[in-house]
Amino acid sequence: MPISDATPQEEFSRAAERMAVRALDVLSALGGADATSATAPHRSDGPAAALGGTRAELGGARVLGADLFAPYLLTGTPLHPGLDEARAMALAFEQYPPAQPQAPQPAAAQPGAPQPAVPQAADRAASAVVWRDWAAAEVLGRCGHRVPVPPPDGHEPQDGAADQWQQWSVWMAQLSPLALPGLDSPVHDSARRNPRALGRGAVRAMLRRDYRTAARIARWLSLGQAQGVASPVRLEPLLHHVRLFGGPSARTALDVRVGERLAEAGP
Amino acid sequence: MKTGRTVRPGSTVNQDVLRTAHRVGSQALAWLAASAHHGAMPPETTVDFADPDNPYKPLGETALAASLVLREGVGGPAELAAARELLDFTWSQLRSGAFLYERAMRHPMLSDPLETYAHFVRGGYRLSTLDEVVGHLGRLDSIRAIEMMPNRRLAVANANRVIDADYRCDWAALAGDTWIGSEPEPWLIDWMTGYNMTHTVFHLTDWGRLPEGLPAGIADYLGTWLPVWADIWQEVAQWDLLGELLIVDACLPEPVCDPQAWESLAAVQHPDGLLPRDGDPVDEDPHTAFKENEHTAVVAVVAGTVTLSRALGGAWSAA
């Protein structure tokens, strides 16, 4: 490993960027015209040297989560145990096993007090991790690698109050790796029920120049659109704007590309 | 009840919002009334004034706020009296309309005498010579064809509508020419475009009097995106623009903004009623503080008045 002054967090962040670059490359290679013929270059019979060769890369794979498999899910390319991504992700789960979080505590019961639309900040962050781990493990399971993750029971999103769209949409942005074809969960139900709150969240993020959050929320709208749920905001110009204005992050670029692919699929 | 008023049918009135809106608006009105002398015209002012900070425009804006307080009639006796005093004061500052008449005669292609006059007509003041001049000018193709921004063209049209009950124009076409009329991408709006957007709504509805004047497409669009704009300008403490957005909220078929926006305005309002225009410190000099924040007071008075009136259906204004 090269000597570096970077903190572990920075190493992970850089590794996640590299993982995103790889996912973009694979998506580009798989194209979508004839998906099955493009699987060969990404099957490795040797140790996972090409991917996940370092602890930082394994950390990066954990950060990217289900998005490591986005090219396959978007193009309908079959998943199997020999995929580099599958091997790396299985190793990553061994190296960095999921925490065993507690279910969020119900809010102190006050007669007449409205239920919060989403869990409070700390619980929200913990719930996001649980769902992201669930999604990564779900896709990995479809590859033939079973990894134990905490069940997401008790972390269901509670959408409802109209004035909570800000917090809820940011939470959904953190869950953008779930916005992929073939995954379904109560989080997806919540997204389908609340296109307007997602639209508001995406537009708010755009105006705050938080382009990564905007692209992540837009992914949910794109997925909804592909499933017949109309988006309140036109996605093509929004995503193209993020592409031009959103900075150099490959992770943002991946969110944009996934959003574009989903939106192109249409209902 | 006044003819033409549209009550929000079956609307669930948020009592906290109404209390806050009333308090913020009435305190801003009291501050405007107590500070009015800071906004007086210098005695030597001519209709050719060159100073862009001349009190002429703010006097018109104060007249607007006062005229709406009187039109809606939802304030208490003290507020109605303060509004009448302000309207008397601003009218006398404009020499009972003579200033507007002279300016229209001197610069017939300027629209500001007409627009300013409309506020006074709304409040019950008339000057027959000015009526004759603006009526004549309004019929000239040369005036109608003046090149201006679409939201400004709506300002002129609404002023004509207030002054002349028989005035007719193609409101749908005028609305369609505006920025918001194209139902644009809501994520690119900037500060100036935000102000222009609010004025499109103000003039189409004559400041909340005619909510049905807002085309359904624009109303739907605002129902979705107005809360986002209120959120972001609240976050950056643009209180003046936030107040304008709350006026827009009150002009919609149903209010859509987070009640927190009103609480934010209440939280930054000074005990004497001054409402800071933004997050910068308020100048210690009372005159400078007045000049810098008088527009925000006007906005707060209008926002409080129209919010209360729409919610109450204007019932208290029944004569």
What is the DSSP annotation of B82-122?
A: HHHHHHHHHHHHTGGGHHHHHHHHH-TT-SHHHHHHHHHHH
Q: Report the residue of chain B nearest A210, measured CA to CA.
A: B187
Query: Tokens 């050719």 identify what position?
Result: B48
Residues of A in contact with B227 (CB under 8 A): 165, 200
Domains of chain B: 15-317 (1.50.10)
**Nearest C-alpha of chain B: how many angstroms from A241?**
10
Structural contact between residues B240 and B295, judged by C-beta atoms closer than 8 angstroms:
yes
Comparing CA positions, the residue from A81, A23, A4, A84 lying closest to residue A255 is A23
Taking the CA atoms of A50, A51, A54 and A60 in sequence, report the sign of the dihedral they define: positive
Of B185, B188, B258, the CB nearest to A163: B258
Which residues does B168 contact at the CB level (< 8 Å), separation at least 6? Answer: none
**Residues in Cβ contact with A239 at an 8 Å cutoff, skipping those fewer than 6 apart:** A215, A218, A222, A256, A259, A260, A263
- Answer yes or no: do B187 and A207 touch at CB < 8 A: yes
Inter-chain residue contact A238 with B187, CB threshold 8 Å:
yes
**Chain-centre distance for alpha carbon B214:** 16
Q: What is the pLDDT along chain A (267 residues), one digit of tens a residue?
A: 556 678 888 888 999 999 999 999 999 999 854 444 444 445 444 434 467 789 999 999 999 999 999 999 999 999 999 999 999 999 999 999 998 756 555 544 444 444 445 556 778 888 999 999 999 999 999 999 999 998 888 888 877 555 589 999 999 999 999 999 999 999 999 999 999 999 999 999 999 999 999 999 999 999 999 999 999 999 999 999 999 999 999 999 999 999 999 998 866
Chain B residue numbers with beta carbons less than 8 Å from the beta carbon of A235 are none
Predicted-assembly ipTM surpassing the 0.90 threshold: yes
CB of A207 within 8 Å of a chain B CB? The answer is yes
What is chain A's percent helix, strand, coil content, to nearest 5? 60, 0, 35
Chain length of chain A = 267
Prediction pTM value: 0.91
Question: With a CB-CB cutoff of 8 Å, which residues 217-236 of chain B face chain A?
Answer: 224-225, 227-229, 231-232, 235
Sketch the domain layout of chain A as residue ranges.
Answer: 1-101+118-133, 156-267
- Taking contacts as CB-CB distances below 8 angstroms, the residues of chain B near A202 are 187
For B181-212, letters b (16+ CB in 10 Å) and e give beeeebbebeeeebebbbbbbbbbbbbbbbbe
Cβ-Cβ contacts under 8 Å for B271 (sequence gap 6 or more): none
Cα atoms in the 13 Å half-sphere on the side-chain side of A123: 19
Q: Does any CB of chain A come closer than 8 Å to the CB of residue B131?
A: no
